[in-house]
A and B are shown apart, each in its own frame.
Chain A
Amino acid sequence: MIRAKSMVNKDIPVLRNLPVPLLLGLFSLWLVSGTFAQDTEPEGDYRFEQRFVQRLSWEDDPLVFRYEVVIEIERDGEYTEQLRESTTENFLSLSLRPGQYRYAVEVYNLLRQLEYTMDYVYFTVLNALRPEILTISPEAFFPKTRSPWQITITGRNIDPEALIMLRPLGAPDGQEIRPRSTTFKGETLLLIFDKKELPPGIYDVYIKNPGGLADSRGILTVHEKSEAAGEKTADTRFTRPDIIISAGYVPAVPLYGGLFRGDAFESAIFPLGFAARVGVLPLKRNWGNVGAELNASWHKLEEQKSNYTVTAHDIGLYLNLLYQLWLPNRKMALNFHLGAGINWVADFYFDYGDGKEDPMTSAYLSLDAGFTFQWRFWGPLFLETGLDFIHVFSPKDQSQPGYLRPTLSIGGQF
């Protein structure tokens, strides 16, 4: 392939192509994480552009002085000449764009006269797609793993005829390991490896489409010692944890207790609410990912009575243990979390029409338990729905309320 350098396009194609609702979702993520605030690509940067080369060939003859190759492209059912090249070789290398073509070879004898023209050969230049590896699971194998050594890859643009292999990091070329079997299920790829062929070490996954474009992603660690024994592994290099960020709509549905019902709030639902969470999953195993998350929420509590109004803000902040289980299709995951935190009932006051009373703010220890269901709809981005149960410990006033928080949010796992 010929490589040529060209100036970087400063556009951000990923953002440019997204639908408006998704951009709004990303914007809300940005508010939480500030992820997109650091686009500092330097001026005058370069990138390499790959050019594809097609090779046409024909039978050679020593009695031929030269060949003239006529290439025609199909447009609206008609073939029109696009290129005419003369060569003394019996091949021609070109760089054609995707499309339907045909070519013929005119044969000139040693008297430089046209002797005959070969029959047309029809061919298609396919669009070369760059494979993209989105996720790899698991990221580690242990010798005592009983289940088959199966790697699940989600990705895009992976051709069924792609070359797929594991490459030991730092090893010379030629030591790549091919899977024993490869199964495609939509955009999910299941690779089965033979344990004996995977010595302890660090690997990356390499996928190359027939067009020549490739992607690789790591790190897959094959450990030397058992995970359960807690012994030192063959390699102690850091495996990057996954980061989960999400935000969305979260109403509150009181279940019991007096803080939200009782004499103050009697509504069956408080619809105005928002929640966001940031999680980290450093432990990634066959049986799931384990980590922690910080979950923050806000609800507006307000009720209009016949002769007064009661208002408060319920702000929660919880630190939870997080367990994530990917479903076999690698596009969906279940997340379970359990933890504790603080609930602030802030700016709580009654207003009898003659001005609001002095507001009160109280803090309570709270328990958070819940689950979410994620569906990856575009790359690392997901839609999420779930349910949280919150119990607020408030022994002094004996109210001890509990409520449910249904969740509908958007987020990403990176």
Chain B
Amino acid sequence: MLSAARLLLPENNAYFGPDRLRDTEFITFAWAAVPGANVYTLALYREDGGRRQLIQRWESSAITSKAIEVSLLRNGTFVWQVESLKRAANGAIERRGTLSENRFTLSLPVIPQKTANDPGKVYGQ
């Protein structure tokens, strides 16, 4: 059994509000390398009333971070899990690691409906 990956970013129970989302188009998930592991899987869930709904799962070879577009998300609480694996040359899993998981919350207020202005008399040629 491989040891659990130490999750780095985003920190556990991180909060993503307007200030944090205004300037970022991606949320980067990062973890520390696990000795003996050559593959990592990252799974992202949305928690809804105690149930977990899988949004997407990624598998990477020896890479310990993944940037995900915020456009995949919406308001709510999310769980992200990393599992370290050791795969043989033929792809078969030789050893599994312990699952590591963190939570983060994304909350954006509803944008109130606004109106466009009448430009009035405008001229062209």
Is chain B a partner of chain A in the same complex?
yes
The interface residues of chain B lying within 8 Å CB-to-CB of A119 are 115-116
Tell whether, in the assembled complex, residue B124 and residue A56 are in contact, meaning their CB atoms are under 8 Å apart: no
Minimum Cβ distance to chain B for residue A210 (Å): 6
The interface residues of chain A lying within 8 Å CB-to-CB of B112 are 61
Question: Interface readout for B103-125 with A: 1 if CB under 8 Å, 0 if not?
Answer: 00010110111111111111111
Question: Interface readout for A31-54 with B: 1 if CB under 8 Å, 0 if not?
Answer: 000000000000000000011101
CA distance A104 to B113 in the complex (A): 13
Minimum Cβ distance to chain A for residue B107 (Å): 11
Name the prevailing secondary structure of the B interface residues.
loop
A115-B111, A118-B115 as given contacts; A127 in contact with B125, CB under 8 Å:
yes
CA distance A238 to B90 in the complex (A): 102
Residues 19-78 of A contacting B (Cβ, < 8 Å): 50-52, 54-65
Tell whether, in the assembled complex, residue B117 and residue A56 are in contact, meaning their CB atoms are under 8 Å apart: yes
Tell whether, in the assembled complex, residue A116 and residue B22 are in contact, meaning their CB atoms are under 8 Å apart: no
The interface residues of chain A lying within 8 Å CB-to-CB of B94 are none
Tell whether, in the assembled complex, residue A128 and residue B119 are in contact, meaning their CB atoms are under 8 Å apart: no
Minimum Cβ distance to chain A for residue B64 (Å): 26
Tell whether, in the assembled complex, residue A105 and residue B124 are in contact, meaning their CB atoms are under 8 Å apart: no
Indicate if B18 sits at the interface (CB-CB under 8 A). yes
Tell whether, in the assembled complex, residue A105 and residue B70 are in contact, meaning their CB atoms are under 8 Å apart: no
Minimum Cβ distance to chain A for residue B22 (Å): 6
Tell whether, in the assembled complex, residue A118 and residue B116 are in contact, meaning their CB atoms are under 8 Å apart: yes
CA distance A59 to B113 in the complex (A): 9
The interface residues of chain A lying within 8 Å CB-to-CB of B121 are 124, 126, 210
The interface residues of chain B lying within 8 Å CB-to-CB of A111 are 21, 70-71, 73-74, 106, 108
**A residues in contact (CB < 8 Å) with B:** 50-52, 54-65, 95-98, 103-105, 107, 109-113, 115-116, 118-119, 121, 123-128, 210-212
Q: A97-B125, A128-B124 are in contact. List 5 more A-B contacts (CB 8 A).
A: A57-B117, A61-B114, A98-B123, A123-B120, A128-B125
Chain A to chain B contacts (Cβ below 8 Å), 25 pairs: A52-B123, A54-B124, A55-B119, A57-B116, A57-B119, A63-B18, A63-B108, A95-B124, A98-B125, A105-B116, A107-B111, A110-B70, A110-B108, A111-B106, A112-B69, A113-B71, A113-B74, A119-B115, A119-B116, A121-B117, A125-B122, A125-B123, A126-B124, A127-B125, A212-B123
List 9 A-B pairs, minimum CB-CB distance, nearest first.
Answer: A211-B123, A59-B114, A128-B123, A58-B116, A110-B21, A54-B122, A125-B124, A112-B71, A52-B124
